[in-house]
């Protein structure tokens, strides 16, 4: 779990929690089945007072009932389900990315060309008079890091480089950020620096101590709580 307390938008309340806050909280979680952990996700949002929650590995389909449950609970949802590989209602649709927000946070999907090396969902979140861009990605850890991954990630950065608003890129990069000398880690850091962004490591998020998740922001935007 990673979270960022950003002071740019100033919502007055954050339903469904009905809590009062001078800032908004962004969180990201690899949930590994939103359907199975729906109650835990809702409880997490309420306990941590999360206004924007980004989820990876939700394992949902385009017509999953869990999306309706979120909306009925008072959350806005923008999602990108992984296309089913087989026509089988019993198969699990692994992967998938989603961003959900409290009622007062308006979410608008942003159309992007879908990459081939990772899954991606993008949205503009409006909180009061302020707006931010939220980009959620998931690169399967079962696949080797390819040069094309960095090319497609650069395309994402290029897509939002002209936006005059804060940008948050979060998710499972499945790059060994706990290894500073890893060539893929170096390449990711160099790319982030090249675009004038900041890479925030989240600490170990794996049972083997691996750091695979990251938060990339416009400079000096986020203070992390891991």
Full residue range of the structural domain in which residue 26 is found: 2-85+92-225
User: Residue 15: its pLDDT value, please?
Assistant: 37
> Alpha-carbon distance 100 to 125, whole Å?
10
Least Cα distance to 215 among 183, 171, 175 occurs for 171
d(CA 18, CA 1): 22
* Share of residues in the chain with pLDDT > 90 (%): 64
pLDDT at 48 over 90: yes
Cβ-proximal residues to 36 (8 Å cutoff; 6+ apart), any chain? none
Strands of the 52-56 sheet, one edge to the other: 76-80, 97-101, 52-56, 24-30, 2-6, 224-225
Q: What number is the average pLDDT over the span 149-155? A: 98
Q: What is the CATH number of the domain that holds 197?
A: 3.60.10.10
Residue 128 confidence (pLDDT): 85
Mean pLDDT over each residue of the chain, to the nearest integer? 83
pLDDT for residue 52:
96
The answer to whether the pTM exceeds 0.75 is yes
> What are the beta bridge partners of residue 134?
123, 168
Residue 24: pLDDT band (50, 70, 90) is: confident
Mean pLDDT of 111-136: 95
Task: Confirm if 53 and 27 have CB atoms less than 8 A apart.
Answer: yes
- Give buried/exposed letters for 111-140 (b at 16+ CB in 10 A, else e): eeeebebbbbbbbbbbbeebbbbbbbbbbe
The predicted structure's pLDDT at residue 14: 34
Count of domains in the chain? 1
| Cβ neighbours of 88 (radius 10 Å) | 9
Whether 177 shows a pLDDT value over 60: the answer reads yes
Residue 166's pLDDT band, with cuts at 50, 70 and 90, is very high
CA distance 64 to 111: 21
Which residue do the tokens 């101590």 mark?
209
H-helix segments, the chain: 38-48, 65-72, 147-160, 183-194
User: Strand 106-109 and strand 52-56: pairing?
Assistant: unpaired
Label the pairing between strands 24-30 and 52-56. parallel
Nearest CA among 28, 57, 24 for reference residue 44: 28
**pLDDT computed for residue 94 by the predictor:** 74
Task: With cut-offs at 50, 70 and 90, classify the pLDDT of residue 141.
Answer: confident
């Amino acid at each position: 779990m990673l979270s960022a307390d950003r002071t740019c938008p100033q919502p007055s309340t954050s339903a469904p929690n009905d809590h009062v806050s001078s800032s908004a909280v962004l969180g990201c979680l690899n949930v590994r089945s939103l359907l199975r952990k729906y109650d835990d996700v809702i409880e997490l949002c309420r306990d941590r007072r999360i206004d924007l929650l980004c989820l990876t590995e939700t394992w949902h389909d385009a017509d999953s009932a869990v999306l309706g449950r979120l909306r009925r609970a008072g959350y806005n949802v923008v999602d990108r389900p992984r296309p089913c590989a087989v026509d089988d209602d019993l198969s699990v649709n692994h992967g998938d990315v989603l961003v959900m927000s409290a009622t007062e946070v308006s979410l608008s999907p942003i159309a992007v060309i879908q990459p081939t090396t990772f899954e991606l969902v993008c949205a503009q979140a409006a909180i009061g008079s302020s707006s931010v861009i939220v980009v959620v990605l998931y690169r399967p850890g079962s696949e080797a890091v390819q040069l094309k991954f960095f090319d497609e990630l650069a395309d994402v950065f290029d897509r939002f480089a002209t936006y005059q608003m804060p940008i948050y890129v979060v998710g499972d990069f499945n790059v060994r950020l706990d290894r500073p000398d890893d060539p893929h880690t170096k390449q990711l850091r160099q790319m982030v620096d090249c675009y004038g962004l900041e890479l925030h490591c989240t600490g170990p998020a794996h049972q083997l101590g691996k750091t695979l998740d990251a938060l990339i922001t416009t400079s000096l935007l986020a203070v992390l709580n891991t």
